[in-house]
Amino acid sequence: MKNIYIKTLCVLTLGLTFASCNDYLDDAPKGSKIPTTLADYEAFIRDEYTNQSVDIAQASTLINDKFIDIATLAAQRLTKANYMWDETADRIQLNQADERTYYGQYAGISTFNLIIANALTTTEATEEQKRVIWAEAKILRAMSYYNLANFYADTYVASTASTKLSVPLITSADINAPSKQVTIQEMYDFILTDVKDALPYLPKVSQTPLHPNLGAGYAFYSRVYLQMNNYTEALKYADLALAENNKLYDWVAYYNNNKAVIDIPNSYTNTPSPMGYDYVENYTFRHGERTYLSTEYSIPVERAQRFETGDVRFKSRWKIRTVGAETYYRRTLSGMFNYGGITTVEVYLIKAECLARAGQISEALDLLNAVRKTRILPASYQDIATADKTTALNAIFKTKYNELILTLIPFTDARRLNAEGVYKFSLSKTADGTNYNLSSESHLWTMTFPQGATKNPGNGTITQNVAK
């Protein structure tokens, strides 16, 4: 990547904020340069470990999608409060250091603001090329705001979205830019507008897996509308996304090709992750929580039990292990993992949900079973067949929950369904002889802003969206 020099790289309340063009030094240090060409700005999109990572650690912790060992629970009180569903804990006071989600997403937003503000006036590019980079930055900014809004604020409910607060909105890369903590409705309106602005200029084929293409734009639009319970629009854009890319990865073939290693008893030799940059299901690639590591998280026994019998996607990724007093399913893949981007399987299941809600049960199950056939061993596979809407939807939810494990989507879906009140999501477990429960009504479903943000709100104000 080009060595791009900017005057100010300082951590502010709203993230790692870049100076505006007027703040650049007149003389860049030797070996550096002031960004002027479109290529200079486009290079920021390729900064995958800062601008293209989505750290949602506490969300995965809350729904127990990852295994947390005894030592970590003893050392990290916020993590323990979420993992053990402690509703008495004051998570506002405990959240003194867990700032990665907040500052990480705003760091990317600052970068995308910089690109949006300058791409159209850069040099050494055609107008069409400028518009493409501008549009890609708009999609990435909208995706980052979606992550923040669905982490630190309540889920979207039309009747309350205009009165409840979301997260701070900032659209300028200037270090002195004001911020305003907008309502949930204002935030969703902003996200939808960004996508609408970008769609006409997105290319059908990406420059790299990090650059969102037209399929990514449609897929993200579908995700946002689903979160708003607008199933008509979610279905419309799911169809458009699948017209751009409808490929599904054959996990049965992956397992068969690697079973000699996968099936060795008590062996945890890593096999290569197929979910990297060239995963056929990718619309756009973004890293998850483990940006720099080449392995994914191990998962609890209770979580492993929610996978279908014969699910080789599960079998290829985790294997049971006992170390001392702890038993869990240890991860066995190594490589890259698209935990923060968008994939075709999510869109298949969005479309399936929308069809089922519209009473088109058979069509919905055709999509669900198309996904399952690429995941379940033939000896274990049976089509899910039902005429009952609730049964069909629960099957779709279960598959989606398993498919998108360790991403933000199981968390956002659970919040959406809990707010709807018809297909509520709750969890229970037993640890050391004690029963624990995460109610669908729990306040734990909304994360607290870190104290670093609320104590130093910069050029704006921040109000917590949850009492503790």
Q: Are 355 and 363 in contact (CB under 8 A)?
A: yes
Q: What is the mean pLDDT of residues 228-249?
A: 98
- Per-residue model confidence as pLDDT tens digits over 270-280: 999 999 999 99
Q: Please state whether beta strands 271-272 and 333-334 pair in parallel, antiparallel, or not at all (unpaired).
A: parallel
Nearest to 411 by CA among 61, 130, 23, 109: 61
For residue 430, list its beta bridge partners: 435
Q: What is the mean pLDDT of residues 289-315?
A: 92
* Cα gap 251→338, rounded to integer Å: 16
- Per-residue model confidence as pLDDT tens digits over 316-328: 999 999 999 999 9
With a CB cutoff of 8 Å and minimum separation 6, the contacts of 342 are 216, 219, 220, 223, 282, 283, 284
Q: What is the pLDDT of residue 176?
A: 81
With cut-offs at 50, 70 and 90, classify the pLDDT of residue 34: confident
Q: What is the pLDDT of residue 27?
A: 44
CA angle 433, 64, 59 (to 5 degrees): 140
Taking the CA atoms of residue 221, residue 225, residue 226 and residue 231 in that order, the dihedral angle to the nearest 10 degrees is: -120
Compute the Cα dihedral for 386, 358, 438, 330 and give only its sign: positive
**Percent of the chain whose predicted confidence (pLDDT) is above 90:** 86
Does position 174 have pLDDT exceeding 50, yes or no?
yes
- Cβ-count burial of 221 within 10 angstroms (0-12 exposed, 13-18 middle, 19+ buried)? buried
In this structure, what token pair is assigned to residue 261? 């290693």
With cut-offs at 50, 70 and 90, classify the pLDDT of residue 459: confident
Domain ranges of the chain: 9-248+341-455
What rounded mean pLDDT belongs to the chain? Answer: 92
- Per-residue model confidence as pLDDT tens digits over 110-129: 999 999 999 999 999 999 99
CATH 1.25.40.390 correct for 9-248+341-455: yes
Q: Are 174 and 117 in contact (CB under 8 A)?
A: no
* Cα gap 326→336, rounded to integer Å: 27
3-state DSSP call for residue 331?
strand
With cut-offs at 50, 70 and 90, classify the pLDDT of residue 20: very low
Q: What is the pLDDT of residue 26?
A: 40
Q: What is the pLDDT of residue 177?
A: 84
Does position 49 have pLDDT exceeding 80, yes or no?
yes
With cut-offs at 50, 70 and 90, classify the pLDDT of residue 456: confident
Does this model's pTM top 0.85? My answer is: yes
In this structure, what token pair is assigned to residue 253? 């073939």
Q: What is the mean pLDDT of residues 14-25?
A: 35
With a CB cutoff of 8 Å and minimum separation 6, the contacts of 73 are 79, 80, 83, 84
With cut-offs at 50, 70 and 90, classify the pLDDT of residue 458: confident
Residue 409: how many other CB atoms lie within 10 Å? 24
Residue 418: how many other CB atoms lie within 10 Å? 19
Nearest to 249 by CA among 370, 366, 342: 370
Residue 406: left if φ>0, alpha if ψ -120 to 50, beta else—which one? left
Q: Are 190 and 198 in contact (CB under 8 A)?
A: no
**Percent of the chain whose predicted confidence (pLDDT) is above 70:** 93
DSSP 264-322: STT----EE-S-STT-TTEEE--B-S-SS-SB---B-HHHHTTSPTTBHHHHTTEEEEE
Q: What is the mean pLDDT of residues 233-239?
A: 98
Which amino acid makes up residue 9? L
Q: What is the pLDDT of residue 31?
A: 52
